[in-house]
Amino acid sequence: MKVCQALAKDVPTISSIIKVFSGKNSLLPKKEDDLYLRLNDFFVLKIDGKIIGCASIYIYSQVYAEICSLAILSEYQNKGGGILLLDAVLENAKFLGIEKLFALTYVPEFFKKNGFIEIDKDLLPHKIWKDCIKCQYFPKCNETAVILDI
């Protein structure tokens, strides 16, 4: 398994992975056009050249960035790929000088095992809710907020 910066040719596969998880209401859906616009923010996880997962970073300020769209096809889960994607986003955040990396997640245990702590969502900047407004669960979000000081 290896993590690579996403390429334009990877967008259809990234889109299909996100659709699998947004169909299960565990990720926010993303339009393919938006994925192209945010291509530099995406990483892909590959096995033998096949994309099996993805993750992205969304920067809000020099203080806050969010790890988004972290997803791995179910048959490849629990094999260390999530940590590889998390590490890639974390290293990118460090390189960019970001102070805190957060996630809104249905799987807080994964993040807690990797150094994140659970926080109240209200402690995050209000501008993070721009995507949440599109969610069917807004404003009664049942995701957990986790954060890591970088």
Band the pLDDT of 26: cuts 50, 70, 90: confident
Domains parsed from the chain with CATH numbers: 2-149 (3.40.630.30)
Task: For CA atoms 86, 143, 110, 69, give the dihedral sign.
Answer: negative
CA pair distance 76, 73, nearest whole angstrom: 6
| Residue-averaged pLDDT of the chain | 91
The pLDDT of residue 127 is 63
Average pLDDT over every residue of 136-144: 68
Average pLDDT over every residue of 46-61: 96
The pLDDT of residue 97 is 98
**Mind listing the pLDDT tens digit for each residue in 84-99?**
999 999 999 999 999 9
| pLDDT of residue 122 exceeding 90 | no
Residue 111 in tokens: 């993040």
| pLDDT of residue 129 exceeding 70 | no
**Sheet of strand 64-72: strand arrangement:** 2-5, 42-47, 50-59, 64-72, 100-105, 144-149, 117-119
